[in-house]
Amino acid sequence: MTRRRNCRYDAVFLKTVPTGYRMAINTLTDADCRRATPNDGKLRKLFDGHGLMLAVLPSGNKVWRMAYRNDQGKQQTAVIGPYPLVGLKEARDRRDALRLKLLDGEDLKPKRKTSPSIALDVAIDTYWAGRTDISAGYKANALRALAMYVSPTLGTKTVREITKEDLMDALRPMDAAGLSVYVRRVRMWVGQVLDWSIQHGHCEENPASNINSKVAFSRKPREGFAALALAEVHPFMERLDLEDEIQSVLACKLLALTWTRTDELRRMTWAEVEGDVWRIPGKRMKKGREHLVPLSSQALDLLAEMKLRSRGSIYVFPNDRGGSRPMSENSILYLIHRIGFKGKMTGHGWRKVGSTWANEHEYNSDHVEVQLAHKDGGVRGVYNSAEYLKQRRVMLQAFADWLLKKPDPSGLER
């Protein structure tokens, strides 16, 4: 016969614990709460004991919650308040007060309120109007996507009424249409709006944070950027020279001559050009490291022409609508489409063209990787911005000579 241990009954959590066993409580410190950050962009929970937890939302906002079980044994969560408005000591006091209510048989589930919740469309407009830390283009893109995919079905609902199922119903058509990357962004943008709504007392939960995009949505196989075969490069260049939109043509050619990324080139400033070197600051590089690009004689000729066309702008390639902004992010891509190479070439494709050419001509692979500002594991993963500068200059000059030469009448190409 099995002997039952001496136990006591915890009415709050509906479970028995051995007599003498002490549940860990008050495990957090003020420093823990202040330093807490999201777990790689995901919801993080810091537990303090007796059900109290500090939920760190993906946005970085923090909310005190208490987990408990109701009379039917169902897991429930009570919202205590936002941190740091509600500090650690006050959160513990509120937790203990709620536990007493549970012991008295009270229901902690708040009654559904009709106020001060607001419609999702109102929350979207208010939240994004207050985002001054992002570009106008990014904001417009987010608002356009939310208006197209979320507002038609959920815009008039209050943020307190919206459920996880509501959001999934709105997002599934995007996933079914193959917008696998965009659907994740829309889920993120809705989640940011709902996080803001929590902080302003318009709702208590963020159902978007309970959607695991990796599980909920399909994953589109990663495809490389379209790039020309070497035999197609000179016919492309001949067609490019027939275009009359000179700035886009010059930008496309300089992109080809430098093997840089499109965004790095379109934001290029005259201050970054130091003689025959282009110094790209780390804040504009994908890997966050300064990058030096040796400029061939042909690249310098293109820059000299753009100097006459840039109308005093700080940017080498200013926007058509004003020199205070760089050229549009799609200018080069639309140019490629216009000349008949849609689906065959992209601005980013010049990096692949350059790499392929260099490998076929047996240039050192380390020199190629550094010029592409890639980061490989091991020794090749660490380098300073000036590494192999002399060798890369020779390589890019040879590439420029090949790229901009007149095609061989015999039709022979490497």
pTM of the model: 0.48
Residue keyed to tokens 């790499």: 355
Q: Answer whether the bond into residue 18 is a cis peptide, omega within 30°.
A: no
214 burial level (CB within 10 Å; 0-12, 13-18, 19+): exposed
Instruction: Work out the burial of residue 9: count CB atoms within 10 Å of its CB; fewer than 13 is exposed, 13-18 middle, 19 or more buried.
Output: exposed
As a whole number of angstroms, the distance between CA 414 and CA 356 comes to 11
Enter the tokens of residue 196: 């803001």
Bridge partners (DSSP) listed for residue 68? 76
Residue ranges and CATH numbers for the domains of the chain are 30-104 (3.30.160.390), 120-210 (1.10.150.130), 230-404 (1.10.443.10)
Alpha carbon distance 49, 63 (integer Å): 16
Q: Residue 62: which H helix or E strand, with range?
A: strand 62-69
Phi, psi of 54 (to 5 degrees): -105, 110
**Residues recorded for the chain:** 414
**Do residues 120 and 159 make contact, with C-beta atoms less than 8 angstroms apart?**
yes
Quick check: bond before 207 cis, omega within 30?
no
**Contacts of residue 365, Cβ cutoff 8 Å, sequence gap at least 6:** 359
Q: Which residue spans within 70-122 are E strands per DSSP?
A: 75-83
215 contact partners, CB below 8 Å, separation of at least 6? none
> How many other β-carbons are positioned within 10 Å of the β-carbon of residue 135?
9
- Contacts by residues 195-200 (CB-CB < 8 Å, ≥ 24 positions apart): 195/57, 195/58, 195/59, 195/61, 196/59, 196/123, 196/126, 196/127, 197/118, 197/123, 197/127, 197/159, 198/57, 198/61, 198/63, 198/82, 199/61, 199/82
DSSP for 123-166, please give it.
Answer: HHHHHHHT--SS-HHHHHHHHHHHHHHTHHHHTTSBTTT--HHH
For residue 189, give the nearest of 149, 222, 226, 153 by alpha carbon: 149
Active site residues: 261, 286, 348, 351, 374, 383
From residue 402, how far is each of 248, 298, 349 by CA, in Å? 21, 11, 17
Let me know: does 132 contact 154? Beta carbons within 8 Å: no
Give the CA dihedral 95, 101, 105, 111, nearest 10 degrees: -80
Helix pair angle (349-360, 389-403), 10° resolution: 100
**Tokens in use for 334?**
């639309």
Task: Return per-residue pLDDT of the chain as tens, 414 residues.
Answer: 444 333 333 444 444 334 443 456 778 999 999 998 888 778 899 999 888 999 999 888 999 999 888 777 778 888 999 999 999 999 999 999 998 988 887 777 755 544 578 999 999 999 999 998 887 878 888 899 899 999 999 999 999 999 999 999 998 888 887 777 778 889 999 999 999 999 988 998 999 988 887 777 776 544 568 899 999 999 999 999 999 889 999 999 999 999 999 999 999 999 999 999 999 998 888 778 889 999 999 999 999 999 998 888 999 999 887 778 899 888 999 999 999 999 999 999 999 999 999 999 999 988 999 999 875 433 344 445 568 899 999 999 999 999 998 555 444 343
